[in-house]
């Protein structure tokens, strides 16, 4: 049994070509990648002086037609020039057996006659349909067992659209399309993307011609008037103070970057649509809290101040007389209110805790009164970002305890919520603050 297996292995190595070995070649031809049912498909510019070579002398050469074969030669040659167009062959050499098909490209050159956008197509907002009039002969071959295979004739379609890179910029789009066999009386429909600006479509065919060193046939459409719309909304949030300015530093989650879309109210945000003007002509903004419409506007840019606590959806549509974009959504989140009051401050000029200030978040209504031990008002302010510096009429106030009263409302307070005495049976509404207590002024040393 072992001797039989060894003999069979030696026979296979002798009779069959090594995997990947190429016995036949055509240096001046384009070779189809991965042909089906046959070893090679060679496409020549033309068959004048078209050379086909074998790796070693030919023992037998057959012409094949479906399942039939005709012996053409049985000795000698390792190169020949008289291969016929649209014909298959099988060649035997000392190194094995190979099959191939020969095609004359000059007999199948295509001609592009006209290229026109279909302006009546009702999908123009999503894609562009182009009607191509052309003479496109079929290029095909047969497997060794008579199965017909068609070679795709591809073309390159170029046009200019827009892409967003901090602003709209021209962008060349390249699509690969398959050109099916066609005659001038039967136009082909080609589908491309929907350009965002006026453009000219340029069709070039085909890669086989380029591979053979031929100039590809090219045709241009008339200028196409774009109708597809798009937008790239940008937001700019107003920054409230910096540490260096020593203002708003007592506000929690205050907007410190122009890209902020979440934090303490009021959030003052400028929205700009950046539509692909002039194709995009109309703008629609909707700001919703839940499913409730808060405001609707129609300018390309608009500013809105978010004073109320909650989650918001800002929706944008751009349109013209033909097309309307899908909605573009921006999420905005306004924090719940918070108010924290210290019990001591040290106005000694050392830059730390020099003012009596509250810590706050999303406070939109504020008043604070400070009284001395005799009940006299010594200071009042209504901006939670500010405070009392420990002076009375420009002079340092005496150290000791003072009494404060604060009334404030947050972004999360219900409309019409009122101040009243806070009791267990009648607590203050959410977002309403009515606070009082002692604040100790201690100067100490720097």
**Residue range of the domain that includes 208:** 109-220
Cα-trace Rg, the chain: 41
pLDDT at residue 141 in the model: 95
Residue 259 neighbours by CB distance under 10 Å: 9
CATH number at residue 427: 2.60.40
Residues 117 and 213 in one domain: yes
Question: Three-state secondary structure along the chain?
Answer: CHHHHHHHHHHHHHHCCCCCCCCEECCCEEECCCCCCCCEEEEECCCCCCCEEECCCEEEEEEEECCEEEEEECCCCCEECCCCCCEEEEEEECCEEEEEEEEEHHHHCCEEEEEEECCCCCCCCCEEEEEEEEEECCCEEECCCCCEEECCEEEEEEEEEEEECCCEEEEEEEEEEEECCECCCCCEEEEEECCCCCECCEEEECHHHHHCCCCCEEEECCCECCCCCCECCEEEECCCCCCCCCCCCCECCCCCCCCCCEECCCEEEEEECCECCCCCCEEEEEEEECCEEEEEECCCEEEEEECCCEEEEEEEEEECCCCECCCEEEEEEECCCEEECCCEECCCCCCCCCCECCEEECEEEEEEEEECCCCCEEEEECCCCCCECCEECCEECCCEEEEEEEEEEECCCCCCCCCCCCCCCCCCCCCEEEEEEEEEECCCCC
Mean pLDDT over residues 39-58, rounded?
90
pLDDT at residue 66 in the model: 66
Q: pLDDT band at 1, cuts 50/70/90?
A: very low
Q: What whole-number distance in Å separates Cα of residue 177 and Cα of residue 258? A: 44
pLDDT at residue 246 in the model: 62
- Tell me, yes or no, whether 227 lies in a domain: no
**Is residue 6 scored above 70 in pLDDT?**
no
pLDDT at residue 10 in the model: 29
pLDDT at residue 202 in the model: 98
Residues 275 and 374 in one domain: no
- Tell me, yes or no, whether 80 lies in a domain: yes
Cα angle value 74/79/84 (rounded, 5°): 80
Pick the more confident residue, 424 or 182.
182
**Is residue 77 scored above 80 in pLDDT?**
no
Of 17-31, 62-76, 167-181, where does the model show the most confidence? 167-181
Residues 326 and 255 in one domain: yes
Q: pLDDT band at 9, cuts 50/70/90?
A: very low
Pick the more confident residue, 373 or 426.
373
- Tell me, yes or no, whether 415 lies in a domain: yes
Pick the more confident residue, 37 or 248.
37
- Tell me, yes or no, whether 321 lies in a domain: yes
Last residue of a domain, one of 334, 354, 372: 334
Count: domains in the chain: 4
Residues 151 and 246 in one domain: no
Tell me the pTM. 0.79
Residues 174 and 247 in one domain: no
**Is residue 5 scored above 50 in pLDDT?**
no
Are 220 and 117 within 8 A, CB to CB?
A: no
Last residue of a domain, one of 48, 74, 106: 106
Last residue of a domain, one of 303, 334, 365: 334
Residues 134 and 40 in one domain: no
Residue 21 makes CB contacts below 8 A (sequence gap 6+) with 55, 95, 96
CATH number at residue 326: 2.60.40.10
pLDDT at residue 18 in the model: 39
pLDDT at residue 421 in the model: 78
Residues 125 and 41 in one domain: no
Residues 343 and 409 in one domain: yes
**Is residue 268 scored above 90 in pLDDT?**
yes
Instruction: Tell me the β-bridge partners of 392.
Output: 395
Residues 318 and 248 in one domain: yes
Q: Among 19-28, 91-100, 199-208, name the one with the lowest average pLDDT.
A: 19-28
pLDDT at residue 245 in the model: 65
């Amino acid at each position: 049994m072992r001797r039989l297996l060894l003999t069979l292995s030696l026979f296979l190595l002798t009779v069959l070509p090594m995997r990947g070995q190429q016995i036949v070649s055509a240096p001046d031809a384009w070779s189809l990648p991965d042909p089906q049912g046959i070893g090679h498909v060679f496409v020549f510019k033309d068959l004048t002086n078209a050379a086909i070579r074998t790796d070693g002398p030919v023992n037998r050469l057959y012409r094949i037609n479906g399942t039939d074969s005709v012996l053409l030669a049985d000795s000698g040659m390792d190169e020949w020039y008289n291969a016929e167009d649209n014909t298959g062959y099988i060649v035997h050499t000392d190194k094995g057996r190979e099959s191939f098909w020969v095609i004359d490209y000059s007999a199948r050159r295509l001609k592009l006659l006209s290229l026109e956008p279909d302006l009546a197509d009702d999908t123009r907002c999503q894609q562009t349909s182009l009607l191509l009039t052309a003479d496109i002969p079929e290029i095909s071959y047969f497997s060794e067992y008579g199965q017909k295979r068609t070679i795709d004739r591809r073309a390159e379609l170029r046009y200019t659209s827009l892409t967003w890179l901090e602003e709209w910029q021209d962008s060349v789009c390249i699509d690969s399309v398959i050109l099916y066999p066609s005659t001038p009386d039967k136009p082909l429909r080609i589908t491309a993307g929907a350009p965002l600006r006026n453009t000219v479509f340029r069709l070039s065919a085909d890669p086989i011609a380029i591979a053979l060193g031929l100039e590809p046939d090219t045709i241009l459409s008339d200028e196409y008037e774009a109708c597809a719309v798009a937008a790239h909304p940008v937001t700019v949030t107003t920054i409230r103070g910096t540490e260096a300015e020593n203002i708003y530093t007592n506000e929690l989650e205050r907007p410190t970057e122009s890209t902020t879309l979440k934090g303490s109210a009021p959030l003052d945000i400028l929205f700009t649509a950046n539509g692909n003007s002039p194709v995009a002509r109309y703008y629609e903004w909707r700001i919703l809290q839940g499913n409730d419409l808060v405001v609707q506007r129609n300018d390309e840019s608009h500013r809105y101040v978010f004073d109320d606590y909650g989650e918001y959806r800002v929706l944008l549509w751009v349109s013209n007389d033909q097309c309307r974009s899908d909605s573009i959504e921006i999420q905005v989140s306004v924090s719940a209110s918070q108010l924290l009051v210290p019990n001591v401050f040290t106005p000694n000029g050392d830059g730390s805790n020099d003012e009596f200030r509250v810590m706050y978040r999303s406070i939109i209504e504020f008043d604070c009164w400070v009284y001395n031990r005799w009940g006299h008002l010594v200071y009042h302010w209504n901006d939670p970002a500010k405070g009392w510096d420990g002076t009375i009429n420009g002079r340092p106030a005496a150290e000791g305890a003072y009494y404060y009263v604060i009334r404030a409302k947050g972004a999360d307070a219900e409309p019409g919520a009122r101040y009243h005495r806070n009791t267990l049976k009648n607590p203050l509404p959410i977002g309403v603050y009515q606070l009082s207590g002692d604040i100790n002024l201690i100067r100490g040393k720097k």
